[in-house]
Amino acid sequence: MNSASALRQYQSVNTDVLVSDASPHRLIQMLMEGGLSRMAQARGALEHGQLAMKGELIGKAISIVGGLRGALDMERGGDVAANLDRLYEYMGNRLVEANANADVTIIDEVSRLMRTIKSGWDGIAP
């Protein structure tokens, strides 16, 4: 096993432990952090001309946004959940557009939106 695969294995185990010990609130924070990280990495890949990597990372960010959208409790969440649902849908569509057009400004826009949502979520920590 080379050092890169050993590091990946350690990160996988470490992530599994973090997830298994996390509260539902913390899991949403972790998804948001992961989305922000993937968008930042996609931005860097785009700036370095790594188009395949950019596409893969934006795809992961889109999946994370979809996961956040799927975690909404539409029954109990009322208007807040409905508004977040529309916002997550918009963010996913914008990321698709960012990928298709290799547009850093759209990645930045969605990152700003995610940071705003995360700031609010962090503020209601149990």
pTM above 0.85, yes or no: no
Mean pLDDT computed over 57-73: 96
9: pLDDT strictly greater than 90: no
Mean pLDDT computed over 79-102: 97
pLDDT confidence tier of residue 6, bands split at 50, 70 and 90:
very low
Q: Name which residue leads in pLDDT, 68 or 22.
A: 68
State the first-to-last Cα distance of the chain, in angstroms, to the nearest integer.
41
27: pLDDT strictly greater than 50: yes
Count the residues in the chain.
126
Distance of CA 45 to the CA centre of its chain: 16
Cα distances (Å, whole numbers) of residue 77 to 6, 22, 81: 42, 21, 5
Q: Name which residue leads in pLDDT, 5 or 75.
A: 75
pLDDT, mean over the chain: 88
Return the CATH class of domain 21-123: mainly alpha
Domains in the chain: boundaries: 21-123
